[in-house]
Amino acid sequence: MIQKTLKSAGHDLAEPTFQLRVLNTPVAGSTHYLPKFRAKLAEANLYPLLPTGIDIFQVNVGKLCNQTCRHCHVDAGPDRREVMQRDTMELCLEALRHSSIPTVDITGGAPEMNPHFRWFVEQVHSMGRHVIVRCNLTIITANKQYGTLPQFFADNGVHIVSSLPFYQQRNTDRQRGDGVFERSVQALHMLNAIGYGQEGSGLELDLVYNPAGAFFPGPQASLESDFRRELQKHHGIAFNKLYVITNMPISRFLEYLIDSGNYSDYMEKLVNSFNPAAAAGVMCRNTISVSWDGYLYDCDFNQMLDLPVAAHAPRHIRDFDVELLAARTIATDQHCYGCTAGSGSSCTGATA
Amino acid sequence: MQNTYYNPADLKKFGDIAEFQPELAKKFFDYYGQVFAEGALTAREKSLIALAVAHAVQCPYCIDAYTTDTLEKGVTEEQMMEAVHVAAAIRGGASLVHGVQMMNKAKALTM
């Protein structure tokens, strides 16, 4: 069954301002405000939060996706129409040409569904940059055309980072939809077959674990060893690294938290698990995030909450300037607790 | 006074036991933390043992805490339920093995 996105269902939580209001209001049945994230940063001598540079140029090429995962912070799905156009991609390439940012991280939605995706990857690859594609795996099995993606990825040295919430079907399908686990396994076999995740191939295949519910991820190293053992034993699948990511209390995961009655406990736990070391290593400090329509954000989460980069920095890719952006202050709000709890969370897993 | 003996919110107040006796509470929580750290058993194995024991002693707070903790440590739902069955088997076995005592006594009393 294909679930509707919050946007097409006309849900209040489709609106970033509504989400921010929820996050900044005392939880139901309480008059108690959670401590402000910026106050926690100040206690850790990290306010205002400043960039350490720009190492990662993350491009969200659109919200169109073949899945409607229950935890999706993008509210992506088959009914979304926001897709980056080629002229915006040209501006991204122009910005990259004028900088030495080493890594380009392409995400979505399912980025492969953008009609200009392959062209864009080829262009970035030809510039000698490290290309990461956040592939949801099932897109590879969606039709014959997408079935050629593994070879395309290999030809362009793409580093694949793929979500697989668990090494068992039940937990994966509950979060990502019926049949997703089986199709993900099929896609992983296709990627392994051409060398992805295999030692010595140079073709990197990393997996992403995020909890299928209102709880935190455990230690990355022990989960990685569970995934490696179980995926090899039951499915003959190999991969390089496992990143563990905390679910961010925004968009569809926020809807799930509220509907399941877990919101207040989850938020309190995030706040109580604030770790200054994780805060010091948050990904927004070395990342810039570009939206489908070319606007600039400190991270993909801020992008979805419509919190742009600081006013004194360039706000659109056409005005991209590494130096000005490196001198900005980073916008934060209550959702940022999602990246600073426990061992921390980022697009490359734990940060502390 | 609340009108139920158990309140889920009390779990978060566990540390408050220090209010009436700080010294012993500190000793207990230090010990507790050390018990659950990685050792000859992994933290994951210890969490699963705790889940089983929580069911054996039927502590709702412990069941709440160690259901979350085992999930966070990547324990599968099948493994969690098997741990509960271990607790049930030991509890059931503990009753049944006393049946031997009953039989001994019955045999001593009867012809």
Contact map slice: B 15-34 vs A, CB within 8 A: none
CB of A150 within 8 A of CB of A196? Answer: yes
- Two tokens, residue A113: 């569904």
Give whole-number Cα distances, A78 to A64, A67, A129, A164, B47, in Å: 6, 7, 30, 20, 40
pLDDT at A345: 87
Answer whether B77 sits within 8 Å of A223, measured CB to CB: no
Chain A neighbors of B44, CB-CB under 8 A: 218, 222
- Res. B2 pLDDT band, cuts 50 70 90: low
Instruction: Judge whether residue A28 has pLDDT over 80.
Output: no
Answer whether B71 sits within 8 Å of A219, measured CB to CB: no
CA distance A214 to chain B (A): 9
Chain A neighbors of B71, CB-CB under 8 A: 211, 213, 215
Which among A171, A215, A268 has the least Cβ separation from residue B72? Answer: A215
CB of A336 within 8 A of CB of A273? Answer: no
In 3D space, the residue among A27, A87, A96 whose CA is nearest the CA of residue A288 turns out to be A96
Q: How many other CB atoms are found less than 10 A from the CB of residue B33? A: 9
In 3D space, the residue among A113, A46, A103 whose CA is nearest the CA of residue A74 turns out to be A113
- Two tokens, residue A345: 């969370």
Residue A59 CA to residue A347 CA, distance in Å, equals: 13
Chain B within 8 Å of A245 (Cβ-Cβ)?
no
Tokens 């012993």 belong to B24
Answer whether B73 sits within 8 Å of A216, measured CB to CB: no
Positive or negative torsion for Cα A294, A300, A303, A304: positive
Which of A173, A181, A226, A234 to mutate against chain B (most B CBs within 10 Å)?
Answer: A226
Q: Could you give all domains of chain B from N- to C-terminal order, each with its CATH number? A: 40-109 (1.20.1290.10)
Answer whether A218 sits within 8 Å of B77, measured CB to CB: no
Residue A349 CA to residue A347 CA, distance in Å, equals: 6
**Count of pairs with CB atoms under 8 A, one residue in A, one in B:** 27
Interface predicted TM-score (ipTM): 0.80
Contact map slice: B 82-111 vs A, CB within 8 A: none
Domains of chain A by residue range: 52-265+285-335
Answer whether A223 sits within 8 Å of B74, measured CB to CB: yes
Q: A62 pairs with which residues across the strands?
A: A83
CB of A132 within 8 A of CB of A106? Answer: yes
Tokens 């742009």 belong to A308
pLDDT at B49: 98
Tokens 């399912």 belong to A110
Chain B neighbors of A266, CB-CB under 8 A: none
Residue A124 CA to residue A119 CA, distance in Å, equals: 9
Answer whether A218 sits within 8 Å of B74, measured CB to CB: yes
- Res. A348 pLDDT band, cuts 50 70 90: confident
Instruction: Judge whether residue A96 has pLDDT over 90.
Output: yes
Chain A neighbors of B15, CB-CB under 8 A: none
Instruction: Judge whether residue A64 has pLDDT over 80.
Output: yes
* A243-294 confidence digits (pLDDT tens): 999 999 999 999 999 999 999 999 999 999 999 999 999 999 999 999 999 9
Minimum Cα–Cα distance from B9: chain A residue: A265
- Two tokens, residue A128: 């000698």
Q: Of A120-124, A346-350, B86-90, which gets the smallest average pLDDT?
A: A346-350
Answer whether B44 sits within 8 Å of A213, measured CB to CB: no
Q: How many other CB atoms are found less than 10 A from the CB of residue A250? A: 27
State the DSSP code for A240: S
- If one looks up domain A52-265+285-335 in CATH, what number appears? 3.20.20.70
pLDDT at A17: 97
Chain A within 8 Å of B76 (Cβ-Cβ)?
yes
